[in-house]
Structure 1
């Protein structure tokens, strides 16, 4: 059992639901790598969302934790940076594998078969279009979900949030309809073209196709350099905490310091849903 820091949803709220492009791009780089790591272990996550990405809390977090929680589900907190300047505070961890599923055999590497008429598994807001359509999920769906997470951070909300319906099933149908009727270019309008390129690439992947994780990372790394940002791991919340600490010091310790969200323990996977 390891205590990790706040989730990206917590930190998004802490930053008044505004992330700079620098923070979004630094997060995107790590998030792609964390999902790639899970896929190399023959699992798909199936619930990619801000709540399931947690920041580390210190130097002891620079490792990969891999603990069994049952016969076939795993709870992984993944971090794999070799950069000595990259402290545990800057590392991102992917948690909560209650909905994870093995997508290929460890020994034969045989991929699970394509199927339809599946129940929606995961969080509707970030679910892939194919997941809404009842198609068996694979690696492409985790990557598409990440694209929606990134646009959520960019836009502060997604077009299919806040839809009202009488039942959960009807609400999911409305979300699906809105998601499918919103062109990627409209969703990403006003933001760098790389985000639309990312989503169009993920939506174009075949069921068994392995995503080109390096290509996706490079999309955002090149954009990052083009914008003249420095990879110093200074996130928006880092700046807020430093500013609050300085204000507190200048007022003789009487000032109110910014309260960072509390950490979480990673040994409590949520109940599985049918998928």
Structure 2
């Protein structure tokens, strides 16, 4: 299928049609008004298009919904919106595959993965409800995993049906989430009257069977907490203010009682490993699997991995320092691409070491060595701030590069902030500082809302 445009807004290159008006693309950078366009390999975007004369229009409403949620963890930032050549468009950072697509690959998720997803999805719904919206379409196709280092962070990708919240709406969203979680555990189960294929049937068909099924039958074989969750959300919720903390705790309890490890290993990671190593990744569609790929890691393996990560971080810091000493006359377009890539890489290595140190099996001495690296400071002081200062010194020529750096950096910072104990104030401050750059150098972007969302004053 021919692409309707070569680029959107002169800065986003269309690359591939994904279906239903959705295109994969990438941001282009220019050094000043006359500089050549340079495509950022690490700056993939998703572009949604809809004809302005379409009979059923939803993109404008979806754009408004997502913009109103700007700054929330798991909500994509709309980089650009508008109209061009008879089409409306919306551009945001490209996410990974949807949960629906991953289910098509994995066939069903393990209980461990579903419980980890449940906590993220509950936090996301809580945020959406706090902004006086109800999602209405809570289904596997509405959520995706993030890209790159945010690969385990759930991202909202469908919001066209979201509406202003009314009495009972929050409970309806939470009930729909419960059905979705149960569905993801096994896709098909021995429920009465359910004679459909999970591959050929639409989710709505299966959902209707689930709604008509008694709770005890629906949750057969699952931890008792699933029954408690469904009983809570199926009854009227007083004042339409659900106890989200209680619901999250139900799934945490089930996770702990099963003895699962918060090691960051989701099913798709195991399946990818099996696929790449030539193993058969398949598992039965029916039944429930507790977890996949559980494997004890030796202290020696941890030590080797930690040494590799620290070495890579050191090399990244050296490259960033070297680039900062480049003479101004030598700062061509390739230089600015290298600067943003190098500093992004440094931040990513910091993130990897932080996640490494939080692994439940990481030896105590390696945890202490990780703390000694002061990665909380390195992320901002060595990774993000120097890059922004270099780019700021080159404005207006480097404005595109600042904007291109801000969006993926925001995603990574929110991923770190979510893992930090008690939502560490330091990370919230970093996100506010980042959004302040956005407010100044990307006035068409969502940064004012982001700034306010994370406690900043405008």
**Please, what TM-score do these two structures have when normalized by structure 1?**
0.60
Match of 1:100 among 162, 170, 175: 162
Q: Retained in 1: the 8 A contact 2:144–2:155? A: yes
Sort the Cα spacing of 1:58 and 1:161 in 2 relative to 1 into closer, same or farther, 3 A. Answer: farther
Look up the SS of the partner of 1:218 in the other structure: helix
Match of 1:35 among 125, 149, 155: 125
User: Secondary structure of 1:4's partner?
Assistant: coil
* CA displacement at 1:191 relative to structure 2: 1.2
Answer yes or no: is 1:25 the counterpart of 2:84: no
Whose RCO is larger (CA < 8 A, sep 6+)?
1
Deviations 1:71-109 (A, max 9, x none): xxxxxxxxxxxxxxxxx0110012211111112xxxxxx
Distance (Å, rounded) in 2 between the aligned partners of 1:174 and 1:241: 27
Equivalent residue, structure 1, for 2:96: 5
1:241 and 2:277 matched = no
SS in 2 for 1:6: coil
Question: Relative to total residues, which structure has the larger helix share, 1 or 2?
Answer: 2
Q: 2:137 aligns with which of 19, 44, 47?
A: 47
The structural deviation recorded for 1:204 is: 1.4
CA-CA distance at 1:58 after TM superposition: 1.9
Deviation of 1:4 after TM superposition, in Å, equals 0.3
Residue equivalent to 1:149: 180
* In the alignment, structure 1 residue 226 sits paired with structure 2 residue 257: yes
- Structure 1 residues 234 and 179: CA distance shift in structure 2, 3 A: closer
Residues paired across the two proteins, number: 182
Distance 1:97 1:154, change over 3 A: same
- Structure holding more strand per residue: 2
5+ residue gaps in structure 2?
Answer: 1-91, 197-203, 283-458
SS where residue 197 of structure 1 aligns? helix
Q: Displaced runs of 4+ in structure 1, greater than 6 A?
A: 172-175, 255-258
TM-score, normalised with respect to structure 2: 0.37
Alignment-derived partner of residue 263 in structure 1: none
Asked if 1:90 corresponds to 2:152, the answer is yes
Alignment of 1:112-261 (within 5 A): 112=166, 138-157=169-188, 159=191, 178-179=209-210, 181-206=212-237, 208-245=239-276, 247=277
User: 1:212: Cα distance to partner?
Assistant: 0.8
Q: CA deviation at 1:215?
A: 0.6
User: Distance between the aligned counterparts of 1:242 and 1:219, measured in 2?
Assistant: 31
Q: CA deviation at 1:208?
A: 3.9
Question: What SS does structure 2 have at the residue aligned with 1:9?
Answer: helix
**Residues 11 and 175 from structure 1, CA distance in 2 versus in 1: closer, same or farther, beyond 3 angstroms?**
closer
1:5/1:54 contact within 8 Å kept: yes
The 1:161–1:9 alpha-carbon spacing in structure 2 relative to 1, beyond 3 Å, is: farther
| 8 Å CA contact retained: 1:194, 1:223 | yes
2:141–2:158 contact (8 Å) kept in structure 1:
no
Deviation of 1:206 (Å): 2.9
The 8 Å contact of residues 194 and 219 in structure 1, kept in 2 or not, is answered as: yes
| CA distance, structure 2, for counterparts of residue 38 and residue 89 of structure 1 | 21
Offset of 1:205 from its aligned partner? 2.9
Residue 107 of structure 1: aligned partner: none
